[in-house]
Amino acid sequence: MKNRIFFKLLAVFLIIIAATAAVLYVVIGNAWETSLRAEIERNLVQKTLLFAHRVETDKTHPLPEIAAQEGQSAGARATIIDASGRVLADSQSNPDAMENHSHRKEFVAALKGQTGESERRSATIGIPFLYVAAPIAGGAVRLAYPLSDVEAVQAQVRHHLLWGSLFASLIALLIAAAASVWTSRRLQRIVDVAARIEQGDLRARVNDRPLDEIGRVAAAIDKTARQIELSFAAVRSSQHQLETLLNSMQDAVIAVSADGLVRWANHPMDQLVPQHTRLNAPVVETIRDPDFLAAVQAATITKEVKNGRATSIVPGRAFEVTAAPLPDGGVVAVLRDLTETERVEKTRRDFIANVSHELRTPLTSIQGYTETLLDTTSENSNSSREFLEIIRKNSLRMSRLTEDLLTLARVESGETRFETEPIPPLELLNDAEQSFREIARTQGVDLKIVDSQAVESLPPVLADREAIHQVFANLIDNAMKYGCSGARIELGACAAQRAVEFYVRDFGAGISSEHLPRLFERFYRVDKARSRESGGTGLGLAIAKHIMLAHSGSIRAESEIARGTTFLFTLPTA
């Protein structure tokens, strides 16, 4: 990694140095050559003008002598022609042997009264010359400067530039190599620290001063590492607290990933299964109960909390399963041991049922003997008949109480089997209304079904006719006892989600809101004195609640003071 960084940086520096040297070589060489040629041309023009001035003013020397002297002083070839282009004098050749020069470019311009310039290679000696001609009276003069010296000087200058560039490149290369090594070491240190952080060493730091961009990157990595270290410390602390809390629970807890692997389990779960939990192993290898697996799978798919009851995890023990989805797609499941609770509940139900059953016989006897005594006692014995009437009344109340206790115990335990069948909601309402029509009339209460046409369009519900009639009986009986002041009771039904909701509404005094959550508890009474006078046992609503639970339905109450009370229960559609 270090060598790769070094060579990459060095290659970049080499390319930059080579490009810079080449550009400088070309640019400086061309600039120097252009400047030299311009200087030579300017000097030659000045010397040509001086040559022309001497030819016009010097009348003491012949033209060949003047041409020879000017050519020698200028270091160039001097030529004089007349207006027709015939050569009059030349510093290097015999004028008579030379051809007419009127067509030469520089002389064409000079014969027109202008300074003419031209550059071309000599056909005789193969050397390039710079020609400058100036006009004179009756002709023109010209100086021809050889450019071979310029080319030699130019080659020498380019040679020096090349060696200078190579030397500068070597120095720059050494500096670039040192900079590459320094930069690569800094980058390698950043890469090493990043790799250590990736491997979990959150205390790794670059510790590079932020003098440049690399230093700022290193400082940002150090700051990020510190933040991650603090965050991980907080997460580990929270995780430790959570594990301690979950391990201290009596309930077994297990976390399952989205692909069905065990991610975590607390100590009660590990002690619950004989083979113990294995992390990252399929959950089916730890718990093979189908109800548990179904709840976990349902929570994974639907992303909703699912409940279930598992009975085959440990022989002879029952568990309540609550599976809740996790944000990452997994599920956490809690197993609560219901064995002891169900045993105590069953013992309680059996005790109530046995006591109620045993009380039926003596209560029946008391009631029978009391009625016999009432029939045989003369009407003159008012005190005796009063006592016997009290005994009969309380024995009847105790009989009702024992019957309700037996009914409640059988419904709770599942001993009572409900035969559900599709029944139109209007039939259930009609049965209830017909059964209590006469009783309501005698008490001055208007009992009626609300909007029977709308109820008739509702779908059938799955229900046991006798059980639902008992629920209606309890609710209507309570409405006539405690809501008769409203002189009106309404029965009705409406559509709900995958169910039909029935209701019994009275318009009496109503029930305070603090009593509503406890209405369906055993023996709970809002007005205890009035309940005893009316002969109620306090078990009717509890029986109705368990009947609805057995039907996979629900029951609730709504009430407002001085506006009446409404009891509502739902039954699933067929």
Per the CB < 8 A criterion, the answer to whether 236 and 256 are in contact is: no
- pTM comes to 0.48
- Whole-number Å distance between alpha carbons of 89 and 66: 9
| DSSP for residue 212 | S
How would you label 379-412 residue by residue, b for 16+ Cβ within 10 Å and e otherwise?
A: eeeeeeeeebeebbeebeebbebbbbbbbbbbbb
88 SS3 class: strand
| DSSP for residue 546 | H
Full pLDDT tens readout for the chain, 574 residues: 445 666 666 677 677 767 776 776 677 667 767 777 778 788 888 888 888 888 888 888 888 888 888 888 888 888 888 888 888 888 888 888 888 888 888 888 888 888 888 888 766 566 788 888 889 888 898 888 887 766 666 677 667 767 776 777 777 677 767 777 777 777 778 788 888 877 877 777 777 776 677 777 777 878 888 888 888 888 888 778 877 776 777 788 888 888 888 888 888 888 777 777 788 888 888 888 888 889 888 888 888 888 888 888 888 888 888 999 988 888 988 888 888 777 777 776 666 666 666 666 776 777 776 777 777 766 656 777 777 777 777 777 777 667 766 676 777 766 678 889 999 999 999 999 999 999 888 888 889 999 888 899 999 999 999 989 999 998 998 888 877 666 789 999 999 989 999 999 998 888 888 888 888 887 777 765 555 555 566 777 888 888 898 888 999 999 888 888 999 999 999 8
Q: What residues does 503 pair with on adjacent strands?
A: 492, 568
214: tokens are: 């690399």
How many CA atoms are closer than 13 Å to the CA of 422, on its beta-carbon side?
A: 5
- Determine the pLDDT at residue 1: 47
Per the CB < 8 A criterion, the answer to whether 497 and 570 are in contact is: no
- Determine the pLDDT at residue 335: 86
127: tokens are: 């050397």
Cα dihedral sign, 436-441-443-446: positive
Burial of 240 (0-12, 13-18, 19+ CB in 10 A): exposed
Amino acid, res. 206: V
HEC per residue, 467-523: HHHHHHHHHHHHHHHHCHHHCEEEEEEEEECCEEEEEEEECCCCCCHHHHHHCCCCC
Cα dihedral sign, 443-446-449-453: positive
Domains by residue range for the chain, with CATH: 2-152 (3.30.450.20), 250-337 (3.30.450.20), 341-413 (1.10.287), 421-572 (3.30.565.10)
Reduced to 3 DSSP states, what percent helix, strand and coil does the chain have, rounded to the nearest 5? Answer: 55, 20, 25
Cα 431 to Cα 107, 291, 426, 526, distances in angstroms: 138, 39, 9, 28
Using the structure block, give the residue that is written with the tokens 């009432």.
Answer: 374
- Whole-number Å distance between alpha carbons of 541 and 358: 24
